[in-house]
Structure formats: structure tokens, C-alpha cells
Structure 1
Amino acid sequence: MGSLHNYLSIADLEHAARRRLPACVRGYICGGTEDGLSLAESRNHFHRLGFAPRGLRNVAQRSAAVTLWGQRYALPLGFAPTGFSAIVLRDCDAALARVAREEQLPFIISGASTVALERLQEENANRCWYQAYIPGDMQRIRPLLQRLKQAEIPVLVITIDTCVAANRENLQRLRFTVPFQFSTKLLLDGLMHPRWTCQVFLHTVLTEGIPRFANLAHSIGPAITEDPPHGFRGGRDQLDWDCISQIRELWGGKLVLKGVMHPDDARLAVAHGADAIIVSTHGGRQLVS
């Protein structure tokens, strides 16, 4: 961590990470679906945004802090849910939760994370949001909601753009799969990146074993090399607005829908009791938009 002063921007950090990570891990983190058109278009939209600052204003007392649902944050920015982050850094989810607490930023636990949400709540002083990949099956949803209530999760974020598996051609070329499966190509790739192999892969496996699907459902799931019960995406193609209405009746905390890309869906979200929406293309990694 002491060497971070050598990196002056996010681009510097990304450049360093690309050198350190094996091609399969790099492809999972940085790639988009199909030809990457949605990912490129999303980046272009951000590049077109700009500010028109006004001068000669007294800004001696300045702050970017915001208050949302009674919680004050240092910036109107936060940590989006990131699945399988254990392949980047040992115990990565917990490290992100600690940093979010220290810097007073929102932190959303990914349903595909590998550190139990109860521990992440402790690391983040009981302020974590939780993002769910859920099926259209209330029999499976109710136990998960009960777990979230017991952990005192204040905000439930439901991702709505993963009804089917994305066509991630770059991952097929790299032989990267979810659940994670070993192959000769992946092993050779790891040997070509010894720092990652020693500091992430071996350190994790030798101290904690293979990471597990910790937060997909109401209980800790199997290792990320195995299919969870009902499959990783089983039943998501049945999730609909009726399910959202039932969840709203059962869930007393804040409800957010993530992956909203159409104005009509934004209106439906309000009509079905959502407290907020996250306009998102899933980083160009899910449904092409």
C-alpha cells in the first residue's frame, strides 16, 4: 500500500493491474459482452460530459458530502457491487468494506461476493447495502430477505438486467467460466504472472481454501468452482414486476432497482414501490444496450 503514491490516477492503477493480472482475470474485469460495443458507448457518454465552472465564488468552506436516507457520505460516489473480487485480491470484499467505512462512502455487497455479508456488515459498521441476483421464486426469496433482516442490511438493491446469461465472447476465448473451472491454459496463464499466483491465488487457497458463493442465497453456498443449488442463474428469467411487488410488501428497508435502462421501467419501479433506481448498463457486461 505504501507504493500507492506512485499512482496518480485511476488510469495509472488500471495500467499496473493489467500487467499484474493473468489474461483470464483481466478479461473478466475489463471486458464487455460480444464486441464490446455497449462498453465503448458507455465510456464515450462519460467522455462527453463536462463542467462549466463559474469563477470568483467564495469556496473557502466547500464540501462534496451528501446525505441519503439519513446517512451522510463524504462524496456522491461509492463502491458498486463487484462479484468474484477474490480473484483480484485475497479477502477483497472485506478490504473494500473497510475502505468504504474509513472514507465514508457507500458500499454495496455483491450477491456474487465471497465474504459473508454478516462479516462485511461488521467491517462497514452495519452500513452495507446488499445487491441481489434473485430468481422469480418467492420460496427462495423469502429466506434471503430474512437473512438480510437479521444482518440489519438497510438497503436492498435488486439487479434486473441479468435475466439470461450474457454472451461474453472474450471470456469464452480466455476459457474463463462461472463457476470457475481450471484448465491447462489458465494454469499456464497463472505461471506467467507469479505475483498474482503467489499473493492472490496461493495465499487465498492455502489460508482459506477455495472461495465460496457466500451471499447468493440465505446460506453460504459451495465453492466458486461448483454450481450453486438451482444453478448460478436458475430462475432469474422468471423475475418480474409481480415479484417486486411481493418483495416490497415483505421488505421494510429501502428498495433500489439496478440496471434500469428504459424510461418506462423507471416509471414502473416507482409504481411498484422502489425508493430509487440505478441507471446502469452493467458496465457493458450484460444485456447489450
Structure 2
Amino acid sequence: MNGEQVFRLPIKRTALNILVLCLLLSGLSSGSIIVASSMQNAGYRIIGYILGILFSLPIFFFLFQLFQISRSKYKIDRDGLTIFWGFQKMVIPIHEIEWIRPYDQMGYAVPLPALERMGIFTGKIFFRDLGDILFFATSQQDAFLIGTSQEVLFLSPIDPQAFQKGIQEAVYLGSITPLERKSINVESPARVVRSNLGLYLPLGIGVFLTLLLFILFGFVINARDSIQIGLVRFEPASGIIIIPLLSLILNTVNAFLSPKFFKKENLKLYAYLLAYAGPVMSLSLIIAILIGMYF
């Protein structure tokens, strides 16, 4: 082979899917906020605002995925295969590549990532016959599985025939200057959460209870001029906004620190303590407000 070859990924279908979904989410978000703005009851108004925010959050995720994919490419030379995936780079020395095969010729169904219908093939899946499969692709059609000494790669170059030929030629010719392997983390967030439910479930519950606190705040200020919470009397009742804000701050800090502590064996206990402190405090604050409203 002559020099290096660079292959882009097919992104038209992926871009179209993402843009259509983002337009739909934008409409739902805007509609929720507009409807909420017209409501007299502050509680329902806050619910509408929260829905608007929740509908808008996936937009940023999908636009980031589109940006990441648009930057991605594969580079082949005699020394190895380099995968540029967004801001990350994975380097596979050519001597570690053991085989390459079109996906549609595998003879059995390989599990695909959850967002494959959107044209986003990213993450890591374990398959009993192949081991770990790393996905750096946008299409199932004309995709390749490349077996290495450590994992299997799922790639979808825009020119599949030239890509396969380039890999085969590079493997045949061998390396002149061996490259150092460089791996990247493509662990799916959903998979991380499922494998550590004891940590992430209370964090999620804490966030949910914080949202309930904001909604409860809306109904309180709509129904009362003042409210007694423990030894403190809030007059006007809008002063209790400090309560959901405190819950929000604590749960945000917990969501940031707990996963970091969890990665260190000697700090795992503190990670769990932080994770469970959030929902316990938020639930206590909800009970305190309810007691102040009805007793």
C-alpha cells in the first residue's frame, strides 16, 4: 500500500435522524414552557418548566453525538489502524489485527448498541462468541468486524471495499515502525449505571425528589401566604425556595463526587454514604414541608 489511507464514516442517515429527533424534542420543550407560562397555579407552572427542561436535555446529548461522529475517521497505514472518535484516538498496531470480516457475513447476529436505529453505534458489548466488541460506527450496512488480540472492533467506513483491501494489505506487508497501542474508554453510560445500581439508583432518586420539592414549593406558595417549617416561619411562603435549592445543591455535589470516590477502593464507603445522603435529606425536607402545610 502507498502511504496512509483515511476513511470517513457515512453520516447522512445519522445526521437526519438526529436533527429530526432534536426538532421534535425542541417542539415538546418549547410547548411545555409556553403552556406552563400561561398557567396561574405555580405548582403546575413549575411542572411545565421541568418538563420543558427534561425534553431539552437529550438535545444536547444527540447534538454532541453528531458533532463527535462528524469528526470521526479511520486511518490505515503499514504500522497500524488508528480510530479517531470525536476527541479521542485509539491506536491498534498492525500485528495485533488477526482477521477482518464483513458484518453481514458473520453467520450469526451480533448484539448492537441501544441507539443503533438512530445510526449511533458506540459503546462496548460483550458477546460470548467474540468477547468484547467496541463500536465506532454509524451504519450496520457494509460494516466490518475486525478481530484483534484484545477485542473485536465494529467499524463502518464509507468505502468498504477500499477499507478491507487496505487492512489486508497492511497486515500482509507488516509493520516498519511498530506503534504503541492506545485504548480509549467507550463504556456505555447505561451499562455503567446497570452494573452499579447500588450507587446510581439513590443518586437518581435524589434528583427525582429534588424535582418533587420544586413542584411542592409551587403548590405551597399558591395556597399559603406563610408556612411554618420546624422552628422557622417563612413569611411570605416563597421563602421556602431555599429548601429545594439546598436539595439541588447537595444532590448535584453528590452526583459529581460519588462516582469519583467510587473509582477508588478506599473511598467506596464514602461514595455510598454521599449517594444515599441525597435522597434521605430530600425526603426529609418533603416530609417537613407536608407537616408544615397540614399540621
Tell me if TM exceeds 0.5: no
- TM-score under structure 1 length normalisation: 0.19
Higher share of residues assigned helix = 2
- Larger-Rg structure: 2
TM-score (normalizing by structure 2): 0.19
